[in-house]
Structure 1
Amino acid sequence: MSVLSELATLRRSRSARGTSPAERGDGKAAALFLTPWFLGLALITVGPVLASLYLSFTDYSLLAAPEWTGLDNYVEMFGDERLLTSLRVTFTYVFVSVPVQLAAALALALFLDRGLRGLAFYRSAFYLPSLLGSSVAIAILWRQIFGNGGLVNQVLGWFGIEGVGWISHPDYALGTLVILNVWTFGSPMLIFLAGLRQIPQHYYEAAAIDGANKLRQFWSVTLPLLTPIIFFNLVLQIIHAFQSFTQAFVVSGGTGGPVDATLFYTLYLYEQGFTNLNMGYASALAWLLLVIIAAFTAINFSLAKFWVFYDD
């Protein structure tokens, strides 16, 4: 008790003295260094977000002052057939490409975790698609590869198979974009690889003593201990997939074609805002996208307690 009373007395004496000049100086220096960040937060993030929220309740064409219309933009969404089409296309893209991408990334991470020679080179080489996958150049290249006379049809021709215009066919156009997203597996692969390196080796040794083979060790040791990394990658890649824009814009020529088969939600939002100059409606679409992403993130966090394993 004497120790506790001395600590309480010391705290009271410090609070009575107040903040020292040195501490006040440190606080001012910290505030000074943080000023650019706070300015960026206010001018680049918070300001545009609040402006977008206001514009979502207006009729704004970029050429005239916005006119307040209340909930008209949100009511209009219920009868917008192309909006429903864009949601269907985007959901299909997210639900197909994200699981396949994560499976490919995990498989490759397991392969690299075996301790290959030149591992640093392979990590860099496999990470490269993640850096280039969202670029305009890769989207143009993808359009050439899956075109009528592209590389895919040339390879199929070697086996006597007649190819099709993959990006111009409504049944296959979205599939080419799914393949492109799966190809950008580098970032989740590196995160998986880092997670695999953190699993203690003695778990595998104990499983081997109990007679577990490699497959059993994967299901009973690797996957449970890797679930926090899987959850982290899942949340990030779902958000990234919902925001995909460049690939669909370049491959479809900015139209979302053929027959709206690649009409991503973000592409439709862009079309409303900068093609139709309906910026008020585009702002409302942006806020709907925010709600959709927040809902999926909340669902993932609520379900995580049923399958994500933590050591503690």
Structure 2
Amino acid sequence: MSAVAELGKLRKQAKSQKGKRRYKDNLAGHLFLLPWTVGFFAITLIPMTATLYLAFTNYNLLQSPEWIGMDNLSRMVSDSRLHNSLEVTFTYVFVGVPLQLVVSLAVAMLLDRGMRGLAFYRSVFYLPSMLGSSVAIAVLWRQIFGHSGLINQLLAMVGIEGRGWVSSPDTALSTLIILHVWTFGAPMVIFLAGLRQIPDMYYEAASIDGAGKIKQFATITIPLLTPIIFFNLIMQLIGAFQNFTQAYIVSGGSGGPADSTLFYTLYLYQQGFGRFDMGYAAAMAWLLVIIIAALTAINFFLAKYWVHYDD
């Protein structure tokens, strides 16, 4: 009996020591997660909850919020500038994002050929993605497409009279779409990584069967890249809806000319920090969240019809 009791005591000690080690490991993990957890609650969750409340109030930063119920929603329904900003933003997203993905995939396939100096070219092409949302690049873009900018100077060399590209309602938004396409570096790097994961034996087998480059691209490259395309599509879609700096700098914060560059985020900024109508701005912010969430959900639903995984 004493031996059995001693064995039981040793087992209890072993379990106790194992529990202490597990507790220490969990404690270390929670301590490493603590900065992120504090940031999530202090910077994300609590402010989002506050804006959800403010969306149903009349609040101007100087007085206490006044509960007005659904008045902000009714105001959004009749706000013509808000409707125009949605139209401008949807045009920017639905034109700019597909074009950017096409360009990034084309450049990735070019770099995938194994050219010399690949690391250099990859860095050069990625650089615009790091600078595309900066104020300096937006100012430079405004100068390039200005009336006396680089584009008009090049056109003058071949006898073509230029125009004020950023000062014309017909072309101002197009310049911002071009700027968005120009920042193709991030999706390009992801596409390049995806192309490197496609086994060469697929292309070799297709060549033996007589398939040309276009056929191989359509039946091998695209199907195997659909998870990467889907990931880039979701990320670029969300990012494009949140773009603000380019429109603010190019239009001088007005969304002009004639509200042709009035992004939804820019109009939200005008309401919140221009007119100090924080209640209405909070309601607009939540509308943007709903739009992005809905489009993301639609894309995830449709993904089962065109995204192909290993199975």
TM-score by length of 2: 0.94
The answer to whether structure 1 residue 215 and structure 2 residue 209 are counterparts is no
Give the match for residue 198 of structure 2: 199
Q: Distance in 1 between matches of 2:66 and 2:117?
A: 61
Given residue 241 of structure 1, which amino acid in structure 2 is its aligned partner?
A
SS of equivalent residue, structure 1 residue 30: helix
Aligned to 2:114: 115
Counterpart of 2:263? 264
1:30 positional shift: 2.2
Per the alignment, residue 184 of structure 2 pairs with: 185
Matched residue type, 1:112: L
Partners in 2 of 1:158 and 1:177 — Cα distance?
24
Residue 237 of structure 1 corresponds to which residue in structure 2?
236
Q: Distance in 2 between matches of 1:186 and 1:30?
A: 34
1:261 Cα shift?
0.2
Amino acid in the other structure paired with 1:69? I
Q: CA deviation at 1:246?
A: 0.1
Q: How far did 1:188 drift?
A: 0.4
Please name the residue that 1:22 is paired with: 21
CA distance in 2 between counterparts of 1:128 and 1:24 reads 45
Gaps of 5+ in 1: 1-12
Structure 2 counterpart of 1:249: 248
Secondary structure of the 1:310 match is coil
Q: What code does the residue aligned with 2:192 have?
A: L
Structure 2, unpaired ranges of 5+: 1-10
Shift of 1:21: 1.6
| Alignment match, 1:170 | 169
Q: Which residue of 2 aligns with 1:143?
A: 142
Cα distance in 2 between the residues matched to 1:53 and 1:246: 25
In the TM superposition, residue 206 of structure 1 has moved relative to its aligned partner by: 0.8
Equivalent residue, structure 1, for 2:125: 126
What is the aligned partner in structure 2 of residue 7 from structure 1?
Answer: none
Output the CA distance in 1 between the equivalents of 2:111 and 2:28.
46
Partners of 1:27 and 1:192 lie apart in 2 by 37
Aligned partners of 2:177 and 2:301: how far apart in 1?
27
Partner of 2:78: 79
The amino acid that maps onto 2:178 is I
* Matching residue of 2:40: 41
State the alpha-carbon separation in 2 of the partners of residues 39 and 187 from structure 1.
Answer: 29
Partner of 1:94: 93
Provide the C-alpha distance between the structure 2 equivalents of 1:303 and 1:278, rounded to a whole number of angstroms.
38
CA distance in 1 between partners of 2:174 and 2:202 (Å): 40
Deviating above 4 A after TM superposition, structure 1's stretches of 4 or more consecutive aligned residues are: none
Number of residue-to-residue matches in the alignment: 299
Q: Report the Cα offset of residue 135 of structure 1.
A: 0.4
Deviation of residue 113 (structure 1)?
A: 0.3
Output the amino acid matched with 2:265.
Answer: T
Q: Post-superposition shift, 1:32?
A: 2.5
CA offsets 1:245-267 (integer angstroms, 9 cap, x no match)? 00000000000000000000000
Q: What TM-score does the superposition give when structure 1 sets the normalisation length?
A: 0.93
Partner of residue 297, structure 1 = 296
Superimposed CA distance per residue, residues 270-304 of structure 1 (whole angstroms, 9 cap, x where no aligned partner) = 00000011000000000000000001101111111
1:138-179 Cα offsets, whole Å, 9 max, x none, are: 000000000110011111111111111000000000000000
CA shift, 1:34, in A, is 2.1
123-132 or 67-76, which deviates more: 67-76
Give the C-alpha shift of residue 64 in structure 1.
1.2
Shift of 1:75: 1.4
1:11-55 per-residue CA deviation (whole Å, 9 max, x = no partner) reads: xx99xx576222122222222232222111111111111111111
